[in-house]
Amino acid sequence: MQHAQTPMKTSPEAHPGSIRIMFVCMGNICRSPLAHGIFCDLVAKAGLAARFEVASSGTGAWHVGQPPDARMRQTARQHGVSLDGLRARQFVEADLEAYDHIFVMDKDNLHDVRYLDRHDRYGHKVRLFREVDPEPGDYQVPDPYYGGAQGFETVYAMVNRTARELLDRLIEVYQLPRG
């Protein structure tokens, strides 16, 4: 799965030594592809696309192969972020080893991802995405799937703010150049 609008690779084998980021929600059609798209856009604008590999997935397999929800694509598009080219995939046990950082959208996703870590080796990689949000609230990104347009806007603002903070922190931790 590659993000069609940026040169950023999304497979863990793309650039050895790259920082590998995975965003996870339940079905990989709303929250995690939005985080994927926003983070790719921010990284590209910072001139750091070659330093990151970004992917998204869902804990469930209901939407595998499908594009992100049309309402989420529309919301992202209105803010200048393209989710075109993204397709849902399911998070698998091998992702625990393949990615450096795994950011989940809510506590249910956290439980489901950690459940796959049968030998408790990768828990240090798995975090709630909003742990880095300057306004974390309950630390969860609500699922807008069953709500109206305002829910998608609320999630966009939350994910955008958190993705910006995440990139700033990763730039600091990995001592990357600021663009």
- pLDDT tens digits, 74-117: 999 999 999 999 999 999 999 999 999 999 999 999 999 999 99
Residue 1 has pLDDT above 90, yes or no: no
Which residue numbers are catalytic? 25, 31, 143
Residue 15 has pLDDT above 70, yes or no: no
Ordered by where they begin, the domains of the chain are: 19-173 (3.40.50.2300)
Q: How far apart are CA 103 and CA 29, in angstroms?
A: 15
Is the pTM here over 0.75, yes or no? yes
Give the torsion through C-alpha atoms of 157, 131, 170, 98, to 10 deg. Answer: -110
Q: Which pLDDT band, with edges at 50, 70 and 90, does 17 fall under?
A: confident
Ordered DSSP codes for 1-42? ---TTSS-B-STTSSTTPEEEEEEESSSSSHHHHHHHHHHHH
- pLDDT tens digits, 125-160: 999 999 999 999 999 999 999 999 999 999 999 999
